[in-house]
Amino acid sequence: MEIQEIYCPQTMDKCNFIKHHSGLSIYICEMNGFSTTEALFGTKYGSINTMFKTGADKEYTTVPEGIAHFLEHKLFENEDCDAFAQYAKTGANANAYTSFDRTCYLFSCSDNYLESLKILLGFVQDPYFTQETVDKEQGIIGQEIKMTNDNPSWKVLFNMLEAMYHSHPVKIDIAGTVDSIAKIDADLLYKCYNTFYDLHNMVLVLAGNVKTDDVLKVCDEMLKTKENMELDTVFPDESYEIVKKEIYGTLPVGAPIFNIGIKCKPLTGYERLKANMECFIAGSVISDPSAPLYKKLIDAGLINSTFGFEVFEGDGFFTLIFSGESKDPRQVMSYIIDEIESVKAEGLDRELYDSIKKSTYGGAIRESNNVEAVASSLINAFMSGVEPYDQIKVLSEMTYDDVQKALIERFDTKNMLLSVIENKEAL
Check if 72 is active-site: yes
Which of 131-135, 208-212, 269-273 is predicted with the least confidence, judged by mean pLDDT?
A: 131-135
346 CB neighbour count, 10 Å cutoff: 8
Q: Is the pLDDT of residue 96 over 50?
A: yes
- Percent with pLDDT over 70 in the chain: 99
Q: Is the pLDDT of residue 264 over 80?
A: yes
Q: Which tens digits make up the pLDDT trace of 30-52?
A: 999 999 999 999 999 999 999 99
Ordered by where they begin, the domains of the chain are: 3-233 (3.30.830.10), 246-426 (3.30.830.10)
Q: What is the pLDDT of residue 3?
A: 96
Q: Is the pLDDT of residue 424 over 80?
A: no
* More reliable by pLDDT, 76 or 81: 76
Residue pair 36/108 in contact by the 8 Å Cβ criterion: yes
What phi, psi does 22 have (nearest 5°)?
-75, -15
pLDDT band at 226 (very low <50, low <70, confident <90, very high): confident
Q: What is the pLDDT of residue 425?
A: 63
Average per-residue pLDDT for the chain: 96
Q: What is the pLDDT of residue 427?
A: 45
Identified catalytic residue from 38, 72, 77, 422 = 72
Which of 23-37, 68-82, 163-177 is predicted with the least confidence, judged by mean pLDDT?
A: 68-82
- Percent with pLDDT over 90 in the chain: 96
Cα-based distances in Å from 194 to 143, 190, 200, 368, 383: 27, 6, 12, 35, 19
